[in-house]
Amino acid sequence: MPWRGPEWDGEFPSLGWQVADWIESHCVVPDGEDIGKPFRLTDEQLSIIVNHYRLRPDATQHQWQTAWEYVRTLLVKPQKWGKAPLTSAFVAAEAVAPVVFAGWDADGEPVGRPWPTPIIQVTAYSEDQTDNIWKVLRPMIEEGPLAELIPDTGVDRINLPGQGWIEPVTSKALSRLGARVTFVPQDEVGTWTSPNMKYLATTQYRGLSGTGGRSLLTTNAWDLAENSVAQEIEEAGDPSDLIDFKSGRLAGLSYTNAKDRARIHRHVYGDSAIKLDRHGIRVSGWVNLDRIEIDAVKLLRKDPTEAARFYGNISAAGSGSWLPEPGMDQYDPEEQHTWADKLEVRDRPRGVPVCAGFDGSDVDDWTGIRLETFDQFQFTPTYFGGKRRTIWDPARWPGHRIPRDEVMTAWHDIMQNFEVVRAYFDPPLWGTELQELQGKYGDKVFIGWETYRAKAMHFELERFRTDITNPSANFRHDDCQFTAQHMRNAVVRARPGQTYILGKPSEKQKIDLSMSSTLAHAATLDAIAAGDLGKRKSANVSTVMYGFN
């Protein structure tokens, strides 16, 4: 018979309830003061197990390989949350517990069976990383009831009933890949950035598809500038992937503020944080948040984004980021400001002298126009009577192509409403449109500016970054959140000779409006240096300052 159906709102079929009971009956705490005691799951851990083993309501015994709602689970948790013990419990269950779907019983409840020949590869970047799980897994087996079921626990291989085994695998052991595997825990996939590690990951996924096996991936929050395996999976949004990522990036909170940080830690550590009863006796959890705070503050002084990633579970761009991460610079307030610190709310001016920057695409990437006044206030203009911003995401247009006619309509609207003194125009793919604008408005106004010129681009990027991060510089900008996101996304791509250009951390993270902004600022500074300030000679724009939150 099929599944019995939900008994409460939101209920779904899962083998996870039975697996969780098995874990608590067979697994023990692997170390510390409670070593050898039964491994008790927190509500959060129980939820992860139940969701990992979630079944499709229409699953049949003969289609057991496709019975699962998810084929891969990604856990993104902060440092010391307890990823290794939970992963070890999963490994133990996949080794000998009834974790394979075997149909429904007479009451419509799911039934499980063990793997006949379980083959498990505990995988990490290096041997030290595989030890994170291996040195927890062995005592979890040896110090409790599992010692009778799994008596052969070697240093580098655990032999299982049914001729199966558990082994550690790193990037150096590529010869062991491609074999049949039934379960693969992959540790710290937020650091898997090299082609070798990505090849290892995809090879293991192919091996799992051949057996109907699945994988469990664990990591801290990742560096957005590195495009790791974890980042690619999270950004892909594949419905067959279960993503458990309780981020510490909470609205209105800054990780560098002590009170905010305490709230973030309570949020991301959840059930793993120690809780005391009224007598001061620990009743749950194992993470001491006071100690986490001490370690986080130490790391904040050295590397704020790394502290936010490790302890705040906040994905952020690290050293590869072009601009400082917003909210991460309070320890050096005199040294650098962020894009957020330069926000200034004004009415978008009309009829004033401005310079412009344009970065155009055809498909995939965005197209955008930014304007800047001569008092260095930069903003996104509007067209169609102020109803649309001059930003085009191709995904929102038919055929996923930039609407070139509408972009040109926007340019003509800008020329009617502003005194455009100079416009730097990135010509690749838009050469015909540039010639049309030059023919109508003059080649002294519309100037081709190739962003692929590494030395020239490096100079403008450094000049713009200096004005953004220098608190005394005049540069200010509007509240365009699309541009702000593109500025945060941009990472440095080094070129020979100490120069760099900007790059995308991933295909999903666009940076095109960063280029438009850089060109608008370059045009403004070059026009000022040439004394070409337009007919009115000044911006004459009233300013209202607001705090940024």
- Nearest CA-CA partner of 331 in 369, 305, 366: 305
pLDDT tens figures, 109-156: 999 999 999 999 999 988 888 888 999 999 999 999 999 999 999 888
End of a domain among 226, 245, 264? 245
- Tell me the residue range of the domain where 165 lies: 16-245
End of a domain among 183, 210, 245? 245
Judge if 240 and 346 occupy the same domain: no
- Residue 256 domain flag: no
Judge if 372 and 232 occupy the same domain: no
Please tell me the total count of domains within the chain: 2
What pLDDT is recorded for position 346?
A: 80
Give the CATH number, domain containing residue 433: 3.30.420.240
| Euclidean distance between CA atoms 199 and 210, whole angstroms | 17
What pLDDT is recorded for position 331?
A: 39
- Residue 252 domain flag: no
What pLDDT is recorded for position 253?
A: 86
pLDDT tens figures, 381-405: 999 888 889 999 998 999 999 999 9
Judge if 38 and 169 occupy the same domain: yes
What pLDDT is recorded for position 304?
A: 83
What pLDDT is recorded for position 496?
A: 57
Kindly write down the DSSP assignment for every residue of 121-181, as one continuous string.
EEE-SSHHHHHHHHHHHHHHHHTSTHHHH--EE-SS-EE-GGG-EEEEE-TT-GGGTTS--
> Quick check: 449 and 522 in contact, CB under 8 A?
yes
Judge if 135 and 240 occupy the same domain: yes
What pLDDT is recorded for position 495?
A: 63
What pLDDT is recorded for position 517?
A: 97
- Residue 432 domain flag: yes
- Residue 198 domain flag: yes
| Euclidean distance between CA atoms 40 and 24, whole angstroms | 6
pTM above 0.75, yes or no: no
Give the CATH number, domain containing residue 64: 3.40.50.300
Strands 377-379 and 382-383: unpaired
pLDDT beneath 50, residues of the chain: 327-334, 537-549
- Residue 333 domain flag: no
| Euclidean distance between CA atoms 219 and 133, whole angstroms | 13
- Residue 278 domain flag: no
